Each structure stands twice: as structure tokens, then as C-alpha cells.
Structure 1
């Protein structure tokens, strides 16, 4: 079930401790049921939980992963069981991430089969992005991982929008809005069946980016009206991907998170921190 909606609700700047604790208590309580189900399935069938769900889940035996992205003015979350995208919501919510994300996430977890009892992995965008947005997403993701004692993986923000793009021989630039007519941009190329970063994320401007374009190039991500006007004027040298493919969606974040967990990777909960970009010295 995939949904996209417009954000509503009061503006808040910090993580709502009551909402976080309520969600953590619910998830922690469900952990007992989760462990009981794993024990029962192994005893009764003689196979692991990953086989019960028909999945090859890797080292951590993840049966459901939640992905959270609040890096910019868009908020998105997804619930993914490794073979299916169960829930996804994406909406625009300037400065209201906390007030809107927690209630929606709690409802979504209550609607999926097995609920929070199956939640055993978390993926979150770690930046670049806005200071407040990244802090909110990171705090909620860490709270869930800590309450459940489950692995967490942080992924670069721009990798998420790039993951939605089709294979192409042309280089791909992904961008985020950074305010004050600045953008955060990174370049990727298609290699060995995946998009790979060629130029790391950096603060720049549209005039500076187009100076680096010398061959047919794709652009995706948060392209503002000024950028769209500049890029379309460069056609056919530059191609801007369709609007639906420029929106960052947590479903793709979940896919990337699954890849890392399947390889047995996870981040240190105490060391995982947002990445903020600064002007070059």
C-alpha cells in the first residue's frame, strides 16, 4: 500500500518525547510476542524465521524494516518485509516533521500484518539535509532501534532519490535545496548494475553546476523553478527526469537498507550521526 498526501498539523521544532515514548513502549512490548513467534516457528517447523516468511534475510534475520526520511521539507516513511513494500507515505511538511511523522508511523505499524512485533530493522537518511529535519528522523530511528534492540543503518540522502532512476549511460546529478539559492549536488554514474557516486555531495549553485556539464547528463532531486528554467534551456544536452521520479521516497530507502542488512552490515547506534555540509574553506 503506497500513499502520498499533504502534511497538516501544528508546527513543532523538537522531538515530542511523549509520542516517542508511546511508540517505544508499544514496540518494546511487542518484542516479547516477536521472540515467542520465532521460537515457535523454529521448534514446530525446524526452520528459521527467515524461511517461515519465505525470505533470505541474511545475518540479522530481519522480518520487517521501517525506513524514515526527514532530511528536507519532505517527510517519508516505509515499511518493507524484504519482498513487498507494505506501506509508504510521502508528503511535504515544512518544519512539522515531528508532529506529523510519529502519529502516521504508529497508525501504519498497527495496520500491517503482525504489527510492530515483526519490526527488526531500521533505515534512516543520515544527510546531507536540513539541521532540524535530520535530527528529527535520526532521533526517531534511534529510539526505535534502541527500544527494540535491532540493527540500524544510515544511508546518504541523495542515494535514495538516485535509487529511483533507471539505468542509463549518461551521468546523473542529484540535488537537494540548501537555501539562500544554494543546492547540495552529487554526481553518479551507472556501473556494474547500479548507480555509483562519482562526485561527493557538496554545496554549490546552479550556475556552477552547469559549468561542469560537457556531455549529455541527467538531473533528479529537488529542482526548484530557477533550476528547472536553467536546465530546460540546456536541452537536449541536459535531461530533467519526470517530476514523480524527482521525489525522494522511503520505499527506495527501505530497499537500500535491506541490501546493507542482508550483507550483515549495521551502524553503531552511539556513533551514527547526521551529516551536515559546510561551505568549502
Structure 2
């Protein structure tokens, strides 16, 4: 049984996944309570599934990018549990988890793109572009063949980038009230010429079940080396905000 943990931002998401099916999942808004809510929630989820901690054979955790205060709690919890229980731990990127929700949105012709966002504080978002590769959405590859890295924008600057793209763009991830206003204003200005769409809230929500799916794929990759799943190898990636060290 795999336990997946995501505390990268202002939500906590947990899931239990046996490799074939999700047996339990919970996601909730937790702006400043990750420390006191995470461990009890894991205990309750295991109890509801009629399991004990001994049933866990694998762990997965979101490694960011995320806020310093929130992300480190989940990563530290997962690394501690993996070390004590001596079970493998897989770290998965925030944007890769969010992209999983769109695997059913198959785009064999390369006509569409995902723009995934994460709140970075002070009116900024960290955004990363994804493309469909016949099985999953993956980071967009620049002409040089290298995957693009997430970049910081304010919402107006990000919408300028999106409007300049030659694809239809699905905007997903964390979108605050100001972001929704900017997106709607641009749609109103462009009318039928708008080539972007804000995904609905349920699709934008990052879920631990998607994290678990991604982790099982990595665990089952024939070329995967066991040392890659050692707790010491899992490193968090922080978004630089006012509370970063």
C-alpha cells in the first residue's frame, strides 16, 4: 500500500493507493495548519481503510515547487516515515501532479497546451508550460530540446505570454481571485478570438491520487534504481516568498 502526501501549498491532500486502485483520498484547505493537521489525518485515513501503519510498503510526496512553510512539513513527515519504516519514497513535482488531471484530454495533434500555475506570493505566480506526448502531459520542450523551467510572472505578464502562443491554452493550477479577474477581462476583450480557457475548480485541484499514480509508475519503471527512492535523495524545491529562509 502506498501513502501519498501533498502539503506544497495551502491545501493538504492524502491518498492510499494499492497499485491498482485508490482506496482512500482526502483533500482540504489548510492555510496555516499543516503542522497540527497532517499526522492526525494520516492516522484517521488509515483507520478508515482498516489499515495500520505496518500496511504501508511505499510512500510518495510532492516535492514542490511550493511555499517553504507548507512544503517542508509534508516532505519532512514523509522522509521521517520512510526512514523509520525503511520503505521507498518517491518525490513528484507539483506541476507534474497538476498535469495528471488532464491525461484524459488527449491531444495527439499538438494543438493544445497546458499552462500550470502555483501561487508565489506578492501577486506573482510560478507558471510552467506542458505539452502532450501521446501518454501524459509533460514539460514543453524548447527548440533546443530541453524541458522549459517554471518562471515567475504577474498575471498580466503571464496572459501576454499565453496570448502570444500559437496553441489553444488550458490554464490550470492555483488561480486566485485576481488571476480569475485578469483571465476573464482578457476573454471579454478578445471575445471569440480568445484561444485560452480556465479549467474548472475541480480540475485545477491538485490531488494526492494523481501523485500516487505518478509514483507507482516510477516505482515500476524497469530502469529505476532503488537508491533513487531513498529518503535522503528526496529534496524539496521552494518558491521564493517572503517566508523563505
Query: What is the TM-score of this pair, normalised by structure 2?
Result: 0.83
1:206 to 130, 155, 161: 155
Deviation at 1:217, TM superposition (A): 0.8
- Say if 2:192 is the partner of 1:192: no
Match of 1:130 in 2: 67
Match of 1:245 in 2: 203
Match of 1:182 in 2: 124
Match of 1:32 in 2: none
Distance in 2 between residues matched to 1:190 and 1:232, nearest whole Å: 26
Deviation at 1:149, TM superposition (A): 0.5
Distance in 2 between residues matched to 1:203 and 1:128, nearest whole Å: 12
Confirm or deny: 8 A CA contact 2:120 2:240 kept in the other structure.
no
The list of structure 1 runs, each at least 4 consecutive aligned residues, that deviate by more than 4 angstroms after superposition, is: none
Query: What is the TM-score of this pair, normalised by structure 1?
Result: 0.73
1:85 to 8, 22, 37: 22
Match of 2:175 in 1: 223
Confirm or deny: 8 A CA contact 1:203 1:278 kept in the other structure.
no
SS in 1 for 2:62: strand
SS in 2 for 1:88: strand
Match of 1:76 in 2: 13
SS in 2 for 1:211: helix
Query: Deviations for 1:68-90, whole angstroms, at most 9, x for unmatched residues?
Result: 00000111110000111111110
Distance in 2 between residues matched to 1:86 and 1:230, nearest whole Å: 39
- Say if 2:111 is the partner of 1:149: no
1:1-281 equivalences in 2 (<5 Å) = 64-165=1-102, 166-168=105-107, 169-198=111-140, 199-213=148-162, 214=164, 215=166, 216-235=168-187, 236-263=194-221, 264-265=224-225, 266-278=228-240
Stretches of structure 1 that go unaligned for 5 or more consecutive residues are 1-63
SS in 2 for 1:159: helix
SS in 1 for 2:149: strand
Query: Deviations for 1:159-207, whole angstroms, at most 9, x for unmatched residues?
Result: 1111111224311000011110011110001112210102322222112
Stretches of structure 2 that go unaligned for 5 or more consecutive residues are 141-147, 188-193
SS in 2 for 1:71: coil
Distance in 2 between residues matched to 1:204 and 1:212, nearest whole Å: 10
Choose 1 or 2 for highest CA Rg.
1
How many residues are matched?
216
